[in-house]
Amino acid sequence: MAESRDKVRILAVVSSDLQSQIRRQLDSLDMSTVFVCRAEELGHCFRNGEVYEVALLPEILPDGIDWWTIWGELALLTHRPAILVYAASANFQLWSGVLEAGGYDVVVEPYPREKLIDAVLRAAQSFALRYEIDAEADRAGEE
């Protein structure tokens, strides 16, 4: 995680009708969550070099944009967040697609508070471990 921050940052791409539910579930975590409703809003989230440990992405947004399109933008970041995809239901194609693309997990509706929080915490730990490994590799390369 970035040394200048002590809170885990979550980028949640959540439609307006689900935002209050997801916000209530994540409020108990000592994390900073940034909500956006549309894929077009993602650009402003990264302009200042913001680092997000976890990205919570929908399988598909109401405007037809899917997680794969959003993943394409996130994959270009220097510090790619751990990806959690949420969906009304999941099939083998979704699970395997998310995992093959390097995503962390799929959370299936209903989104029980404990399951969502557990998935977010595990994803944040995965990011922290990956970040630490990358930092060690960078230091080793400088020697």
Most confident stretch, 14-18, 125-129, 131-135: 125-129
- 15 — pLDDT class (breaks 50, 70, 90): confident
Residues 6+ apart with CB under 8 A from 32: 7, 8, 9, 10
Burial class (CB in 10 A: 0-12, 13-18, 19+), 29: middle
Q: What pLDDT was estimated at residue 138?
A: 65
pLDDT tens-digit readout, 43-99: 778 777 788 999 999 888 767 777 878 887 787 788 889 999 999 898 999 999 888
Domain segments of the chain: what residues? 8-142
| Stated pTM of the model | 0.83
Which candidate, 47, 76, 77, 63, places its Cα nearest to that of 13?
63
User: What confidence category does residue 135 fall into, taking pLDDT thresholds of 50, 70 and 90?
Assistant: low
* Spatial separation of the C-alpha atoms in residues 58 and 86, rounded to whole Å: 5
**Domain range 8-142, CATH architecture:** 3-Layer(aba) Sandwich (3.40)
Average pLDDT for 29-43: 84
Q: Give the residue, 76 or 13, on which the prediction is more confident.
A: 13
Taken in order 72, 105, 66, 91, the sign of the CA dihedral is: positive
pLDDT for residue 80? 87
